[in-house]
Amino acid sequence: DAKTTQPPSMDCAEGRAANLPCNHSTISGNEYVYWYRQIHSQGPQYIIHGLKNNETNEMASLIITEDRKSSTLILPHATLRDTAVYYCIVSNEKLTFGTGTRLTIIP
């Protein structure tokens, strides 16, 4: 599976959009981009995934660059409950977790 690079931590003000970047320059053609988050001492929660088109669901939007070498997860209106570690994973089979981004929402 391709490796991903994410900033170790980010802060975002409550109510603002949180934009979490991810680099995956070695992604191959059949690998999807997945985003999960983990709140302390819980199992990871699925957020969104995509192949090459931008995706949106009730939780977030996923913007994938045209060359697919990077992506951005957007939480449109961050709340305190969005504080978590966010993992960007590229895969066509098993999910291998990197170190993720620790997002802290500031009141």
Partner 1 sequence: GAVVSQHPSRVICKSGTSVKIECRSLDFQATTMFWYRQFPKKSLMLMATSNEGSKATYEQGVEKDKFLINHASLTLSTLTVTSAHPEDSSFYICSASGMVNTEAFFGQGTRLTVV
Tell me how far apart the alpha carbons of residues 38 and 28 are, in angstroms, rounded to a whole number: 26
Stretch that binds partner 1, among 15-23, 36-44, 61-69, 70-78 (CB under 8 A): 36-44
Ranges within 49-68 binding partner 1 (CB under 8 A): 49
Shortest Å, Cβ 44 to partner 1: 5
Indicate the pairing of strand 32-38 with strand 61-64: unpaired
Tell me how far apart the alpha carbons of residues 82 and 53 are, in angstroms, rounded to a whole number: 24
Residues within the interface to partner 1 (CB under 8 A): 32, 34, 36, 38, 41-46, 49, 87, 92-100
